[in-house]
Chain A
Amino acid sequence: METPASPTPAQTARRAPAQLDVFRYDDGIVRMFVIATVTWGIVGMLVGLLIAVQMPFWKANLGPYLTFGRLRPLHTNAVIFAFAGNAIFAAIYYSTQRLCKARMFSDVMSRVHFWGWQAIIVAAAITLPLGLTTSKEYAELEWPIDLAITVVWVVFAVNFFWTLYKRREPHMYVALWFYIATIITVAVLHVGNSLAIPASLFKSYPVYAGVQDALVQWWYGHNAVAFFLTTPFLGLMYYFLPKAAERPVFSYRLSIIHFWSLVFIYIWAGPHHLNYTALPEWAATLGMVFSVMLWMPSWGGMINGLFTLRGAWYKLRDSVVLRMFVIGITFYGMATFEGPLLSVKSVNALSHYTDWTVAHVHAGALGWNGFIIFGMIYWLVPRLWRTELWSPRLANWHFWLGTLGILVYIIPMYVAGVTQGLMWRAFDDAGRLVYPDFMETVTQIVPLYWVRVVGGSMYFTGVLLAAVNLTMSIRNAPKLLPDPAVAMPLSPAGRHGGDGGHAALAD
């Protein structure tokens, strides 16, 4: 193994290009999605900060339009579908082209996807404060917007799959598997949960009734976390982490096993959101055991990420990108241990309806999604705009403000959740509730809500620093940013760069 074996004559013949196949990647669309990511990130987190203040300070509920009840879905929609959504698209458009050695199938479809998605976000930002909502969590948007989402998603899917079809690489890298799972499953979830009968332009009723509606809703809601905030981010990690670390991926076989077990098991876990409700107990039990089985498939991604850094840990000292990835993956590991734990009925009996859930979600959202996104952006900016990052120092400040901000956010929320959960179930020696007034359990945790505001502000400040860094870097960028050109040997055997499929591996 010290020296590679000499190529056989047949291999030499195959590798001698008769002709070069020259093509260009579409990086313009990636730049658009990156800018949209940061822009909507600021909007979404600013709304988050406002509703965080509204919790302990009710006077911050302004008028009918800017009250907690209307802004909370705006916050979740903005950070999930606008901030994380645009980041996913940036990652997919950048890495898919390179992993397929092909330009996106259609520039027009890419732009329809981009502008269509931004229009949907604006529509959400208008309708939610007006109180137009289906009241389904993470699926609040009314039916005309749901239809628009479907159309834009189909455009995205056709564009993506056609790019896969005309790829020049024989094999599909693990990142692409995760993107495929994302695109297919989000389509199924969105259509399945949004099936409704319109009553007017802005009002519809779901086709499911009662507890069936609740079950479908949480099949969707849980898998929105799975296939919007997990699988695309794992795909993203599988591309950008080894690129940034310049190390091979730890284990191909682990990636196969954890990919298939993750996508198979995740889809069953939704009923754990309905423990101790009208949902039949057997369904909740099924959701719970699948959630527990999901623990290791989730950790497979964490292991493959962290172990890929073996031999490259010293690089963390100088690379804010790798440091953000490591913090992100670590929070992923914590959140995916906590998820199965919270699904266990006896734990859920304490945690459900408390701020423990809020802490759990934000460990995942701020830690995993947020840090993976900003790590990716700091890696992409110099490459997309062909300039140095304006200030690595500022990026370093972002890293520390963000990391500490997450802790200052989640720790008081864990304390608040456990405190309130214990107060609700406290009985005195006469068998009476110790805290019969719900308000008593709320006023108890108000100080913790203020600490959360501090943590959120720290994280938000970090994001503002990223925006400044991005803006200044773009200002320094050359005016002309031509699409990067690539030359591949033109293979006579067809578009799949050889004999196609796995046979190409046997050379």
Chain B
Amino acid sequence: MSEHPNPHPAPEADEPLPLEPTHDHPIAGHRYDGIREYDNPMPRWWVMIFWATIIWSPLYILGEYVFDWIPTYSERLAAQTERLEATRTAYTAANPTFSTEPAALAEYATNPDHAAEGAALYATTCVACHGDKGQGGIGPNLTDDYWIHGGTPEQVFAVITKGVLDKGMPPQEATLTDEQRGQLVAFIESIHGSNPPGSKEPQGDKAEG
């Protein structure tokens, strides 16, 4: 093996494998297809970290199951749920409640400002199935007089809230607040009778009055 001059000269050694590590002495008899081996000590930091992980491991297990230092899945879930509930309670307390009474909803739905808010929500949540102008697509036309599940603000609000899973309408109860769903109802009311191009054929029953 050709040796280039280097700061760690490899002296020939002809002694059995020592019990204590040596520094840059090749081990006698260890020649494998020209490869020799030193018996340098293992780096101290390496040994220390290895021991640290070995000691930490049983402590972690005991900490989780015996000493209760580390929360389990269910404890973590309970803590997070509690935190979320507190956030929601605080928000409701700080903001006026939105009434879902039929009369209040009908009143809310006539406000053009609410309809404008609803238009923005419609564009992200509803547009894929009901079309960009409410003309319908996968889902029914929202601009005509025909409704599958009823066309009053109260009924439209219920459909948005609970969905119609048989027909592929997803519930928005968990993703939109009551008020946001009210804004959507306002938007849908505002496009009634707009008869956009490409309107889907009527589905359901003609709404009375």
Contacts and interface: CB of A to CB of B under 8 A. Distances in A.
B124 interface: yes
Given A171-B30, A252-B37, A286-B61, A431 B42 contact: no
A9 interface: no
Contacts of A95: 33
Contact of A254 (B6, B40, B56): B40
Nearest to B34: A243
Interface stretch (B7-15, B139-147, B200-208): B7-15
B29 A171 contact: yes
A263 to B, nearest CB: 15
A505 B42 CA distance: 22
B28 interface: yes
B8 A169 contact: no
A297 interface: yes
B91 A429 contact: yes
B42 A261 contact: no
A296 B17 contact: no
A486 to B, nearest CB: 10
A233 interface: no
Contact of B36 (A99, A249, A288, A430): A249
Contact of A242 (B4, B21, B35): B35
B72 interface: yes
A288 B87 CA distance: 32
A246 interface: yes
Contact of B2 (A246, A257, A300): A246
B2 A249 contact: no
A393 interface: no
Contact of A253 (B21, B57, B84, B87): B21
Interface in B71-102: 72-73, 84-85, 87-88, 91, 95
Contacts of A250: 38, 40
Contacts of B6: 311-312
Interface stretch (B47-55, B107-115, B160-168, B188-196): B47-55
B41 interface: yes
Contacts of A248: 10, 26, 35-38
B17 A173 contact: no
A507 B37 contact: no
Contacts of A431: 84-85, 87-88, 91
A58 interface: no
Contacts of B37: 174, 248-249, 251-252, 255
B43 interface: yes
B68 interface: no
Nearest to B58: A289
B16 A289 contact: no
Given A251-B42, A285-B61, A436 B174 contact: yes
Given A1-B12, A4-B12, A285-B64, A433 B175 contact: yes
Given A292-B56, A436-B174, A505 B29 contact: yes
B87 A282 contact: no
A98 B30 CA distance: 14
B67 interface: no
Report the contact-size class of chain B (Cβ under 8 Å from the partner): 35 or more
B169 to A, nearest CB: 15
A124 B40 CA distance: 46
Interface string A279-301: 00110011011101101110110
A349 B84 CA distance: 17
A5 interface: yes
B138 to A, nearest CB: 15
Contacts of B40: 250-251, 253-254, 307
A432 B177 CA distance: 8
A364 B124 CA distance: 39
Interface in A218-269: 239, 242-243, 246-255, 257, 261
A243 B35 contact: yes
A370 to B, nearest CB: 24
B70 to A, nearest CB: 9
Contact of B16 (A281, A295, A311, A505): A505
B175 A289 contact: no
A504 interface: yes
A115 interface: no
A430 to B, nearest CB: 4
A245 to B, nearest CB: 10
A309 to B, nearest CB: 10
Nearest to A315: B4
B27 interface: yes
A485 to B, nearest CB: 15
A55 B67 CA distance: 46
A285 B41 CA distance: 33
B28 A505 contact: yes
B117 to A, nearest CB: 15
B171 to A, nearest CB: 12
A246 B8 contact: no
Interface string B117-131: 000000011000000
Nearest to B7: A311
Nearest to B94: A429
B18 to A, nearest CB: 10
Given A4-B12, A5-B14, A436-B175, A295 B49 contact: yes
Given A257-B42, A436-B175, A504 B50 contact: no
Contact of A261 (B35, B50, B95): B50
Given A261-B50, A296-B50, A429-B87, A506 B16 contact: yes
Contact of A252 (B30, B57, B64, B95): B30
The 6 closest A-B CB pairs, nearest first, are: A311-B6, A431-B88, A436-B175, A296-B50, A289-B57, A173-B32
25 contacts: A1-B12, A1-B25, A171-B29, A173-B30, A239-B35, A248-B10, A249-B35, A249-B36, A250-B40, A253-B39, A254-B46, A282-B61, A292-B56, A293-B53, A293-B57, A312-B6, A315-B4, A430-B87, A430-B95, A430-B177, A432-B174, A432-B177, A433-B175, A436-B175, A440-B124
Given A293-B54, A427-B87, A431-B84, 6 more contacts: A174-B37, A239-B35, A295-B49, A429-B87, A430-B95, A433-B174
Interface of A: 1-2, 4-5, 95, 98-99, 101, 169-171, 173-175, 239, 242-243, 246-255, 257, 261, 276, 281-282, 285-286, 288-290, 292-293, 295-297, 299-300, 303, 307, 310-312, 315, 427, 429-433, 436-437, 440, 504-507
